[in-house]
Chains A and B, each alone.
Chain A
């Protein structure tokens, strides 16, 4: 792809974001190994260009809904990484006081309305959030990311149809890493794929290389324009590859190591660095950017490990206004 007039600062920001996401997830995997992360985590290592290129283009007022594999999206939307790491470690100071963990990471302060533990469930919720924006006359949009596994769930059809029928401001992003948990998605999905399904509902979109930050950034911006101007939902299909297993403990033995090694040659962070190098950034500048991002996450990880446990009474808070949640519970 030709790169005339590349906005170098913008792609340096993307590079910084991607390195920070990678460092965050490497720290989370380390924490898992050490028993500091207590439940499952789903790393997005290898998919960072999706998070940076899509969420990096959202405005503060925009809303985001993500998946169980949502650390990168949440960081790129501007969530506080220390609060996020505290959440993964189940500590006080977590975005949700340690009550949601990795799979339910959310930061409403930055418009991040939650990752979801149920595949595809966020699609209809995103449509509803957009419906509320329209009803309230708020000038903002919703971005909804989901994986390729979600296209075989009913909410994919119901949510996309809903957004199209009511012409709602949603950008649907299918982050296609090729795997539905541990199964290759194409083996169990009829038809030509996610884009064709969206198009069958009259939702226009683009399908691009999700490991190419330049392509992702451009496609996301091109599709956000009509969404913001009230022309209804758009669909972005991003082809990428999950370099780790489904969860932090999945060795992914169901795929050939040669395939994974080849995929590492397509690492989106290395490609982003090559792009910046191509337009004249020297190694020193890029090393400094990357080192800053990693140092920031190192500090985040240290802080989170030192954080306190949540107060026990928090376990009984935020259930509902009516009724005592402890009533006859034990």
Chain B
């Protein structure tokens, strides 16, 4: 094992895949100078400007070019800078990338990855802070990934690049500096498999992305009182690992879903519905969700903080279910 940051882990994954397969290339704004967060720093020097492509500020053009290039035997990795900007390219992702394989009857695949940094981060306000994973999970044809750790950002990004489906790959901006153990030798992690980040008996918490870390801290608090909470990091939101979640809930009898995204219509609603349908007879309490209020993200730190998931909020929700 070796220690890498979440950012370094993603960079290593891309670099390894580009060395392995010359048809892998990356395109996005400012990539030649490392990208907005430095996730691409040094890659243009190694791979050249033909494969680390600096693009105009043309999100629709970037995504469309990736669709055309993916249908023509290459594997583009698209950088959208902020997931919010990917909304300028929704037709290209939803009507084109996600549909081409199906509506052309399997004549083509669209093996692209679109990296969409998500989440609240340093007073970025309403247009640079969103977590819109639920929208993409709703679209047939797309795979949706939201890694929470350096190891996952390494192994899952590699698998996403090798995947023949279009993958929406959501890295959380607050995690770039997070350090963790990553395999020293090259390896991948399977898409669609959850990770049980903490084993427990009294409650199953289902979460993903940066919310995982808040949930783990809250679980520690309950552990101090002898209440062991199981925390499952979904990692991939479509297809999501129902078996791991349902097996856990059948054993604990309680399920809380925690995400940073707006709670209304969030992916937590889908998880809650499936758990309620599948585990009804085994549940000791109603399934609960904890997400953000349905307001845009404000700029001012105290206002922003009201929307953020905190250990206190998650701990409160947990205690409310096991108390």
Contacts and interface: CB of A to CB of B under 8 A. Distances in A.
B68 A124 contact: yes
Contact-size category for A: 35 or more
Given A97-B105, A325-B140, A131 B100 contact: no
B142 interface: yes
B91 interface: yes
Contact of B95 (A65, A95, A118): A118
Contact of B107 (A106, A125, A132, A321): A106
B159 to A, nearest CB: 10
Contacts of A117: 95
Residue among A117, A131, A324, A328 having the largest count of chain B Cβ atoms under 10 Å:
A131
A323 B143 contact: yes
B4 interface: no
* Chain B interface residue number, banded: 35 or more
Contacts of B73: 132, 136
Nearest to A129: B68
Contacts of A116: 96
A70 to B, nearest CB: 13
B214 interface: no
A321 B64 contact: no
A114 interface: yes
Given A136-B73, A325-B140, A327-B239, A128 B105 contact: no
B101 A319 contact: yes
Q: Which of B56, B70, B96, B165 has the most CB of A within 10 A?
A: B96
Interface stretch (A153-161, A189-197, A265-273): A153-161
Contacts, number: 159
A286 B36 CA distance: 63
B101 A318 contact: yes
Which of B68, B104, B238 is most buried by chain A, counting CB atoms within 10 A of its CB?
Answer: B68
A113 interface: yes
A322 interface: yes
A323 B103 contact: no
Interface string B278-302: 0000000000000000000000000
A96 interface: yes
A158 B140 contact: no
Contact of A132 (B60, B72, B91): B72
Interface of B: 23, 25, 50-51, 53, 55-56, 58, 60-61, 63-74, 76, 91-92, 95-96, 100-108, 140-143, 163-165, 191-192, 238-239, 242, 274
Given A125-B67, A132-B69, A159-B61, 20 more contacts: A65-B68, A95-B104, A99-B105, A100-B104, A113-B68, A116-B96, A118-B95, A121-B64, A124-B63, A125-B71, A129-B72, A154-B60, A155-B60, A159-B64, A162-B61, A166-B53, A322-B192, A323-B239, A325-B140, A328-B274
7 contacts: A118-B95, A124-B63, A125-B67, A128-B70, A162-B61, A322-B192, A323-B192
7 closest A-B pairs by beta carbon, nearest first, are: A124-B64, A128-B68, A323-B239, A96-B105, A158-B61, A128-B65, A132-B72
Interface of A: 63, 65, 94-100, 104, 106-109, 113-114, 116-118, 121, 123-133, 135-136, 154-155, 158-159, 161-162, 165-166, 314, 317-325, 327-328
